Chains A and B, each alone.
Chain A
Amino acid sequence: MYKTLRISFSLRNAYRVNGILYSLKQIPIIKKLLPEKIYGVWGLKIFANIVSVIIEIISAFLGKFLYFYLMIFLPTFLITDVVGGNIVSSGQIFVHILFFLSIIGSYMNTFLFDPTRDKYYGIIIMRMNAKRYALVNYGYSLIKLIIGFLIFGLLFGKAYGVPLWISLITPLFVTGLKLTVAVYDLFKYEKTRNATNENKPGVIKWVIVFVLLGVAYALPLLNTYIPLNIAAYLMFIPIITGALSLRKICTFGYYREYYKQILQPEAYQKDLTRKVMNEYSKKLISADTSITSKRKGFEYMNELFVKRHHKVLWKPSRIITFVLIGLILLAVLVLQVAPDSHAKINEGLLNYIPLLTIWVYSMNRGPNYTQALFMNCDHSLLSYSFYKQPKFVLKLFSIRLREIIKINLLPASVLGIGLSLLLFLSGGTDNYMNYLVLLTSIPAMSIFFSVHYLTMYYLLQPYNRDTEMKSGTLQIINLVVYFACFYIMYLEIPTMLFGAMTILFSLIYCIVACILVYKVAPKTFKLRM
């Protein structure tokens, strides 16, 4: 038993360590400082091992802490505040939420049927004894769970005056629930030979999740929750059924068959994962035979590309536009029926436009466009030397830039026009420049995102011949852009100033980006090795 546990630990550790070393290799400057044969360097291995152990401890305790704090403690505090309750009702709300969330966790996070990578390596590749492997790991996870729930249940429960004995049985309750669900799945497997993959819950399970979430959080808001003593008695049921389940879980004879079903090689073997992804990309290509083009050369190819990738390009852009039109019309309606909303909406439009940055960011089709470009077009064409001639690279860049700007501009300009309209209807402004700024700053933002994604694609060309994303630089840049958008959201700048700055920034960025592409792209736009 100890040996199995040790092997599964070292398996998890091995890929975690290599994963850490691999990510270090992806960071632009650090990768230059690291030796070529990074996986064999003793010091680095030790470092990664330490990080790996820390991750193991964090996953055991920090995870539980965050769960208790964010999902139960904080909501209890907020709900008590809203309904104006006292410490007694807080304790009851705390147990109420814990009770229903635990039911969700019992089947969404079974531990036993979690198709993890180490299970794949251990059971499928290394052909270890499936039952022993499963049970040892299951036991380990349950012990971590019991300790975590005991510590944080007591700690957070005490803050709300939850009786000590309830906090003490909580870990057993949660464990009992998990055991009961596991036994149910095992019996179901024996009957139907269909294994339950907890990472692929069906629609019904998701519906139950939402119902239970509603029960957990919405009922207390209506001042309704299970009384403490009833909850406590109910907790004993899974404790008993869980205890009864233990025998079946230990004697179940088909763990190998069960895991064979849920541990599909596609999820763990890199080449197979890639194959699935390539198949997916192929499916994006429309088989509509009526699609043709009357153009010539690159314009011809581009038109066919855009038309045959309608599903990922124009279709989402149109849907977003319709939703925006709907929202704007709704706002117009509100302005008509509730005249007292005018002042608020007017003020919002003149002061909170930075909020829209993240909207424009998430509406942007750039990442989907560049991905489709690579997977279905450049991946193959870049292996032909004619395609890599500088004049062709630049010609195609300008066509593609025009295309992605058009796709993103549709919703952005509708949003710009809509907001100007709302500004006018909500009482207008003395400074007419405000209209102009609203009208142009959102399209400017949208153009910035379009230029940004395509430029990065041409400058960093992040994929290799096996369609793997290889550029750490790009991932870092994307993160920075994301956080920048998030940060801007919280800025309070008047629309006028923000709009003017956006327009100016976008303009400068676009000019610089295009110059860079013209200078550098013929060298950088190639398949990575």
Chain B
Amino acid sequence: MKFIIENLSKSFGDKKVLKDINFTFEEGKIYGLLGRNGAGKTTFFNCINSDIPADKGKFLLETDGQRREIKAEDIGYVLTTPTVPEFLTGREFLKFFLDINEDSIKNPKSIDDYFNIISIDTEDRDKLMKDYSHGMKNKMQMLINLIIEPNILLLDEPLTSLDVVVAEEMKQVLRQMKAERITIFSTHILDLALDMCDVIVLLSHGVLEIVDKQDLNSQAFKDKILSALREDAHV
């Protein structure tokens, strides 16, 4: 499976944020999307998720040589600030979600099995989610995106506001999930990107560009990424 972006452009007024992007993402890899503040990472995600209309461009999914346009259900989008319907309990949310997606979920598990995956305590499962902590909400959001097994998983700074234990758990979950899908992970933290991602992609000057690791050691690779990002500032 491949996720192909063709001629994606997006401007706000005179400001061209995405300039005719052509890129192919491949299955089974986690892509680390790096860019300076305001480089357009969130805009890029929002265009893929059709939250904002792109000025131009196509998003295609290629499976076994067959291409088609992506649909809403192909995408899972995990936001920095997790949002969950707070009037429901964790269990109710999962039940509702499983109910309406019963046709599309392969190998459904029991609700408690799902809670176990993301280690949410038994006593918290029947609490209203308005009383959940940030980390618990984040886990719920991740879990929903995990169950739906989206073809494309977009993660916008998903781990930065979590405590170390939850962050580590989430990393494990993401690594387990990466087979059979394309994961694009945006972050400001270089070490996190190097730790998690198979491919580092820079978004600078409105285009995507792979940073080739070749046979650099990790420090040299880091320096290469940093200098590429610094160049951006001189434009």
Contact = CB atoms under 8 A, between A and B. Distances in A.
Contacts of B73: 385-386, 389
Interface residues of A, number: 30
Given A285-B128, A529-B51, A380 B100 contact: no
B148 A304 contact: no
Contacts of B49: 385
Contacts of A36: 12-14
Contacts of B173: none
A389 B95 CA distance: 18
B130 A389 contact: no
A305 B88 CA distance: 8
Nearest to B150: A385
Given A385-B72, A385-B75, A304 B101 contact: no
B96 A380 contact: no
Given A304-B87, A377-B87, A386-B100, A35 B13 contact: yes
A296 B98 CA distance: 10
B87 A386 contact: no
B182 to A, nearest CB: 14
Contacts of A388: 72
Interface string A362-397: 000000000000001101110111101100100000
A300 B12 contact: no
A380 B99 contact: no
B55 interface: no
A304 B86 contact: no
A309 interface: yes
Given A383-B79, A385-B150, A297 B86 contact: no
A128 to B, nearest CB: 31
A392 B75 CA distance: 16
A526 B51 contact: yes
Contact of B96 (A35, A297, A527): A297
B100 A304 contact: no
B46 A529 contact: yes
A282 B14 CA distance: 40
B83 interface: yes
Nearest to A301: B96
A25 interface: no
B51 A527 contact: yes
A519 B148 CA distance: 27
Contacts of A308: 87
Contacts of B84: 380
Interface in A199-228: none
B77 interface: yes
B12 A282 contact: no
A49 B183 CA distance: 50
A22 interface: no
Contact of B85 (A287, A380, A389, A392): A380
Given A35-B13, A300-B96, A385-B72, A377 B85 contact: yes
Most chain A CB atoms below 10 A, which of B51, B73, B85, B130: B85
A32 interface: no
Interface in B141-165: 144-145, 148, 150
A388 B148 CA distance: 14
B84 to A, nearest CB: 5
Given A36-B12, A36-B13, A301 B88 contact: yes
Contacts of B46: 529
A498 B29 CA distance: 66
Contacts of A301: 85, 88, 92, 96
A383 B97 contact: no
A458 B17 CA distance: 29
A322 interface: no
Given A385-B75, A388-B72, A379 B87 contact: no
B76 interface: yes
Contacts of A389: 72-73
A383 B145 CA distance: 11
A380 B51 contact: no
Nearest to B50: A526
Contacts of A377: 85, 87
Contacts of A309: 87
A482 interface: no
A410 B46 CA distance: 42
A497 B88 CA distance: 47
Contacts of B128: 285, 287
B130 A285 contact: yes
B210 interface: no
A247 interface: no
A389 B97 CA distance: 13
A69 interface: no
Contacts of B95: 300
A386 B148 contact: yes
A282 B130 contact: yes
B12 A392 contact: no
B155 to A, nearest CB: 13
Interface in B36-74: 46, 49-52, 72-74
Given A282-B86, A285-B128, A383 B52 contact: no
B228 to A, nearest CB: 28
Contacts of A383: 77, 79, 83
Contact of A392 (B51, B87, B88, B100): B100
21 contacts: A36-B12, A37-B13, A285-B128, A296-B99, A297-B99, A297-B100, A298-B96, A298-B100, A300-B99, A304-B87, A309-B87, A376-B86, A383-B79, A385-B72, A385-B75, A385-B148, A386-B97, A386-B100, A386-B148, A389-B73, A392-B100
Interface of B: 12-14, 46, 49-52, 72-77, 79, 83-88, 92, 95-97, 99-101, 128, 130, 144-145, 148, 150
Given A384-B145, A385-B75, 17 more contacts: A35-B13, A36-B12, A36-B13, A285-B86, A285-B87, A285-B130, A298-B100, A300-B92, A301-B92, A305-B87, A376-B85, A376-B86, A379-B83, A383-B79, A385-B76, A386-B101, A526-B50
The list of the 10 closest CB pairs from A to B, nearest first, reads A36-B13, A380-B83, A297-B99, A385-B72, A285-B87, A297-B100, A301-B96, A385-B75, A308-B87, A529-B52
